[in-house]
Amino acid sequence: MNDLIIKIAEYTAAENWEDVRQILTDSPELLDKEADHLLSRLIELNQKRLDFAKTEVYTDRLDLLRECRRLGIDRAVDNLVNNPDYVAIPDLVKSEVDRIRIPYEQFQRTRSISDLDLSIELSKELLAKLVQNPEFVNFKINLQNDTAGMFLNRYWLTSNLHDLDESIKLWQEVKEQTKFGISRQDHLLNNLGTGFSTRYERSGDLNDLQTALEYYRKALEISPYRSRNRDAYAGNLGNALRDHYAITGNEHDLEDAIHAYELALKLAPGNSSKRPMHYNNLATAWQDRYDLTGSTEDLDQAIKHWQTAIELTDSQSPASDRAMYLSNLATGLSDRFESRGDLDDLQASIQNHQKAIGIAPQGTIQLPGYLANLGSGLWRRYEISGNLADLDNAFDATQKALDLLPPTATELPGQLITLGNIYSAKHELYGDIRLLDFAINCWQRAVNVTSAKSKVLPGYLGNLASGFYDRYKRLGDMDDMNKAIKHVRKAIRLSSPNPIQRAKLHNNLGNYLHASYKGNHNGKILNDAIRQQKRALHLSTSGTADWLLYLSNLLVTLYSRYEITQDLHELDFLINSWKTVILFTHVDSPNRAAKMNTMGSLWWEKYKRTKDANALNEGVSALAEACQKGLEKAPEEALKSAKNWGNWAMERQAWNEGVLSQRICPFSCGRASISPIRFKSNDLPFYGR
């Protein structure tokens, strides 16, 4: 008896499964019923002492002895090595467990919800029976844990909040039953973190996310140093920290997320199949950092990690994971193209989007997003190249994405915006008003299904306003103009403090009001237009392309006020301000000709009013440069400038100048009167990503 007690002490004190295997192999007497009896006595004694840790250890080792008799030592120990949460199934319920297991394994193969429903119902029935059998407490705890996982799986399929709440409730019950015995509690805490994190995604309740963070941190803290799950706990903690950063904007959360992902990579074995996912998550955090800092070095880090994730995937890796990494890499390359302007990045982005679509499993929920991203990339390339094939392919990809999205999908508004942009571009190409109607319809639907609190709603309203404005320019219906003004005013009210977005909105509102003034000559509307454009200029950074555009638009509107006041001081202000526009327009810019043409028109107006010889010389010089630059970069502007110059020359009977203008651009003169300022204002829509 004493020898058996010593062997049991060695057996229960063994710290790893190989030592356990060796002890059982060398001591076959442990497989006798007497060892069961002694372990049962030890369990009862420690229960009375409320020593739940020892109670759990002795219970686990007793279960293992019984499994060794049933399966053999090697197979029973291998089950524990391969599954740290393995608990022996009591003989009395083996048949019922099989009834649960068979449909669940079928569900894992087919994703048939009816099989999952059956497993859940059978599990609930067995749990109800086990309430009356306290001797099966460890098995019951494991079954509760597994059943909670089944509920969570069903929630992910059906979005039924009851299933999510039930999974959290079961895991909390398990935690209460094991709060003194810590065996495998790290796994339980991680599960609870997943439950609360998932509920946060549904509810947006910050308390759920903070609870998830606490559980993830605790799981990582108490997990055994050599636990094979520690990298997963670190990865989940990183995900929750990124979510918290997205809400609070706290930079420390983002830095902690990066550290958590880096820890996950350190903890994951070199051959672990989880390493690609850890690299993907780390890359996503670096991209968040790029969005915060604007540093392309951060974006380079993200792209590097996505490339590593792709390199680590092989033929045995899930195609869905590789497709996701390819799509994320493509998005990073697209962002780098927007930052650095390297067309190779845009080309590589489109190619990776196409690869992601090519390997994504049919029916995967990510496929609409991959198609949408491809559509956005092709649309962007069309904006640059004007290649109609890109425009048509962008339309096809975006339409397919919309066809696959359910009506409640969060991605729906963004795809409607992109489709509206494509219809708008087709309208500009072909002039069919129905295409513009389709664009407006897409943008209106996007606005209708977007929350009033959404950060993207102001941009969507901006698109919708631009659609009504374009239709006003085609049909002249003041109702469309009024809708354009109404929607852009609402966009300004809802917009964030971001000065870039607000400046664009104020600029567009000023343009719409100026166009409205031209229809009704209401001085109050003109003054409001000037006020809005000054606001846009104030919000922008001096010397940037946007600032130059806003200044140009403001001067166009101020010229309308000059036409009323005929104030020469205001004309001088316009001339001097337009010199600033010229100064900031590169000498080789394709817009240089149009800017010089406008400069010439302003000097012409000054000459007509004052007969100032300097104004005459400056005007002729500006128009001559406009013609020359137009021939090099913008033939249409060359023709307009030569026409202005020719008309002005004939008005002054300066025949030599008229001949010179004709030599530069033949057949440019005409009887039509000219507008003193020729400038296309910025009324383009905001393009959602």
Identify the band that residue 48 occupies on the pLDDT scale cut at 50, 70 and 90.
Answer: low
pLDDT at 63 over 70: yes
Type of residue at 608:
K
Per DSSP, 31 falls in state G
Q: Is residue 455 part of a domain?
A: no
pLDDT at 298 over 60: yes
Token pair 């963070």 is found at 213
In this prediction, what percent of the chain has a pLDDT beyond 90?
Answer: 56
Contacts 24+ apart (CB under 8 A), 163-167: 164/195, 164/198, 164/199, 164/202, 165/199, 167/195
The reported pLDDT for the residue numbered 633 is 78
Q: Is residue 271 part of a domain?
A: no
**414-436 confidence digits (pLDDT tens):** 999 999 999 999 999 999 999 99
- CB burial readout 360-399, b (16+ within 10 A) else e: beeeeeebbbbbbbbbbbbbbbbeeeeeeebbebbbebbe
User: Among 59, 82, 105, where does a domain finish?
Assistant: 82
Distance of CA 486 to the CA centre of its chain: 29
pLDDT at 529 over 80: yes
The reported pLDDT for the residue numbered 82 is 65
Q: Which of 57-66, 210-219, 272-281, 366-375 bottoms out in mean pLDDT, i.e. has the lowest?
A: 57-66
Identify the band that residue 53 occupies on the pLDDT scale cut at 50, 70 and 90.
Answer: low
Angle formed at CA 201 by CA 199 and CA 206, multiple of 5 degrees: 80
Q: Is residue 575 part of a domain?
A: yes
- Mean per-residue pLDDT over the chain, rounded: 87
pLDDT at 87 over 80: no
**Which residues neighbour 120 within 8 Å (Cβ) at sequence distance 6 or greater?**
147, 150, 151, 154
Identify the band that residue 573 occupies on the pLDDT scale cut at 50, 70 and 90.
Answer: very high
- Residue 346's Cβ-count burial label (10 Å; 0-12, 13-18, 19+) is buried
Which pTM was predicted?
0.69
The reported pLDDT for the residue numbered 550 is 96
CATH number at residue 601: 1.25.40.10
**340-384 confidence digits (pLDDT tens):** 999 999 999 999 999 999 999 887 888 999 999 999 999 999 999
Domain that holds residue 24: 2-82
Identify the band that residue 654 occupies on the pLDDT scale cut at 50, 70 and 90.
Answer: confident
Q: Is 268 left (phi over 0), alpha (psi -120 to 50) or beta?
A: beta
The reported pLDDT for the residue numbered 643 is 87
The reported pLDDT for the residue numbered 566 is 96
Residues found in the chain: 689
Type of residue at 49:
R
Q: Is residue 399 part of a domain?
A: no
Distance separating alpha carbons of residues 513 and 475, to the nearest angstrom: 17
Contact in structure between 200 and 209 (CB atoms under 8 Å): yes
The reported pLDDT for the residue numbered 47 is 56
- State both tokens at 580: 């600033």
**10-40 confidence digits (pLDDT tens):** 888 886 778 888 999 999 889 888 888 888 7
The reported pLDDT for the residue numbered 129 is 84
Instruction: Look at the chain and report how many structural domains it folds into.
Output: 2
**Which residues neighbour 607 within 8 Å (Cβ) at sequence distance 6 or greater?**
615, 616, 619
Contact in structure between 325 and 313 (CB atoms under 8 Å): yes
Q: Is residue 658 part of a domain?
A: yes
The reported pLDDT for the residue numbered 71 is 84
List helix spans (H) across 294-432: 296-312, 319-340, 343-359, 367-385, 388-404, 412-430
Identify the band that residue 664 occupies on the pLDDT scale cut at 50, 70 and 90.
Answer: low
User: Among 62, 82, 102, where does a domain finish?
Assistant: 82
More confident residue, 100 or 87: 100
**609-627 confidence digits (pLDDT tens):** 999 999 999 999 999 899 8
Helix (H, G, I), strand (E, B) or coil at 675: coil
Distance separating alpha carbons of residues 175 and 266, to the nearest angstrom: 29
Q: Is residue 76 part of a domain?
A: yes
Report, as an integer, the average pLDDT of 148-160.
90
Contact in structure between 562 and 574 (CB atoms under 8 Å): yes
DSSP 647-673: HHHHHTT-HHHHHHHHHHSTT---SS-
- Residue 612's Cβ-count burial label (10 Å; 0-12, 13-18, 19+) is middle
Per DSSP, 686 falls in state P
513: nearest Cα among 685, 683, 684, 687: 683
Distance separating alpha carbons of residues 230 and 220, to the nearest angstrom: 6
More confident residue, 270 or 464: 464
Q: Is residue 40 part of a domain?
A: yes
Instruction: Estimate the crossing angle of helix 568-583 against helix 592-610, to 10 degrees.
Output: 160
644: nearest Cα among 634, 631, 657: 657
User: Among 82, 101, 122, where does a domain finish?
Assistant: 82
Token pair 């092989």 is found at 314
Q: Is residue 23 part of a domain?
A: yes
Contact in structure between 619 and 603 (CB atoms under 8 Å): yes
- State both tokens at 24: 């059982």
Identify the band that residue 668 occupies on the pLDDT scale cut at 50, 70 and 90.
Answer: very low
